[in-house]
Copies of this chain bind each other. A is one copy, B any other.
Amino acid sequence: MIVELISVGTEILLGNIVNTNAAYLSEKCAQLGLSLYYQTVVGDNPDRLEETLKLALERSDIVILGGGLGPTKDDLTKEAAARVLGKKLVEDPRSREMIQKFFDTRGIKEITDNNWKQALVPEGAIVVDNDNGTAPGLILEEGEKTLILLPGPPGEMKPMFEKDIFPYLNQKQPEIIVSEMIKICGMGESRVETMIADLIEKQTNPTIATYAKIGEVHLRLTAKAADEAAARKLMKPVIRELKVRFGGSIYTTNEKMTLEESVVQLLKEQDLTLTTVESCTGGLFTGRLVNVQGASEVLKQGFITYSNKAKRKLIGVKKLTLKEFGAVSDKTAKEMAKGAILTTGSDVAVSITGIAGPDGGTKEKPVGLVYIAVSVKGNMRVEEYHFTGNRMKIRESAVVAALTLLRTSILETIKF
């Protein structure tokens, strides 16, 4: 089936916001096995919106419209859809109730009139509850064609899509689509692709798609079958094969888990406390770990030792080490991690020191050179990295590399 996306909003055409909804919906459509040929963005203009909608209905089976369902005069999507399909707008009692409830639970007594506009739906529409806002989603079936209207705010659209639209689209297809995510750290995209080139070529069900992130590669397996059990059965041998090929580099097969979550979970499971010492990353590494809810159970403190003096005074790096080998060296990285353990008594320490640029590089120590040391229960490991890109990219790459090295070091220590 062919699907098409239309995003409605003048703020996108003015460049005020980036259209991340389109990327999200595109990935979901790919996951559902739907062919997406066009994405269009059109402003809050009734004529152009209608034109765009008509064209989309001519060339695609399913049209997903995002945005323009709110209470203001600029919100025109529902009206345009009703006109194109020749339907009247009628009030949906349940939506009216939901809007009332939304304001009640927030203690808002005066509901302005324009809000009730959101309870109007084209006749015959399937109304989809919005658990995070007032504008419901709508599904309009018209012969062979399907029109899906979603609210614009990502915080409303995404939960609605996951809960109701994804299953609806899945069930519309002759076969069920099931997908699994395998997340790999510590390997570049081209290496991962080379390692599975044979599988990508010969595998048609499930298919394997690669998604490159900074320092990570995600593999999405998608299988089609008559029911979910059959689809999972098709995936099983392929997942097993991927686990053999990538082993410990797979940090999760849980779609929602991030690398930092998997690391915090590992520290919790092993009952390990962590101290961080950052130079070039200047707090980014710890900041990312703290984004995990409950990180406080394992992370007690961190040091940002940006200057040589701070490296000496706060965590006891030796003056001689700094003089002889420099702040960016494996020796300094090791002493930073060792000093952190001695100062705080934590079980694990991670240290990062490097040259993020654009200045400060030399022939011997170029921009992008980073040393990361990890000490787990007395076992010290230090690695040298050469990252490319601008200052921000180098620092982000260092953060992901540190997460990966921390993870590997803990796993190695457990093994022995």
Contact = CB atoms under 8 A, between A and B. Distances in A.
Interface in A111-144: none
A60 to B, nearest CB: 11
Interface stretch (A145-153, A302-310, A317-325): A302-310
Interface in A1-37: 12-20, 22-30, 36-37
B30 A37 contact: no
Contact of A391 (B30, B293, B303, B309): B293
Interface stretch (A156-164, A241-249, A275-283, A403-411): A275-283
A55 B51 CA distance: 12
B15 A18 contact: no
A39 interface: yes
A211 interface: yes
A272 interface: no
Interface string A280-297: 111111110111011110
A41 B43 contact: no
Nearest to A284: B287
A230 interface: no
Contacts of A280: 290
A27 to B, nearest CB: 3
B41 A15 contact: no
Copies in the complex: 2
A293 B28 contact: no
A173 interface: no
Interface string A218-254: 0000000000000000000000000000000000000
A131 to B, nearest CB: 15
Contacts of A90: none
A14 B41 contact: no
Given A282-B290, A286-B283, A296-B307, A48 B37 contact: yes
A291 B395 contact: yes
B37 A45 contact: yes
Contacts of A64: none
Contacts of A25: 15
A196 interface: no
A302 B306 contact: yes
B42 A27 contact: no
Given A12-B26, A20-B18, A287-B284, A40 B43 contact: no
Given A304-B301, A358-B293, A22 B23 contact: no
A301 B310 contact: yes
Contacts of A55: 55
A356 B287 CA distance: 12
B300 A306 contact: yes
A110 interface: no
A52 interface: yes
A52 to B, nearest CB: 7
Given A276-B304, A278-B283, 11 more contacts: A12-B26, A14-B26, A15-B27, A19-B23, A19-B39, A38-B42, A282-B287, A282-B289, A282-B299, A284-B290, A301-B310
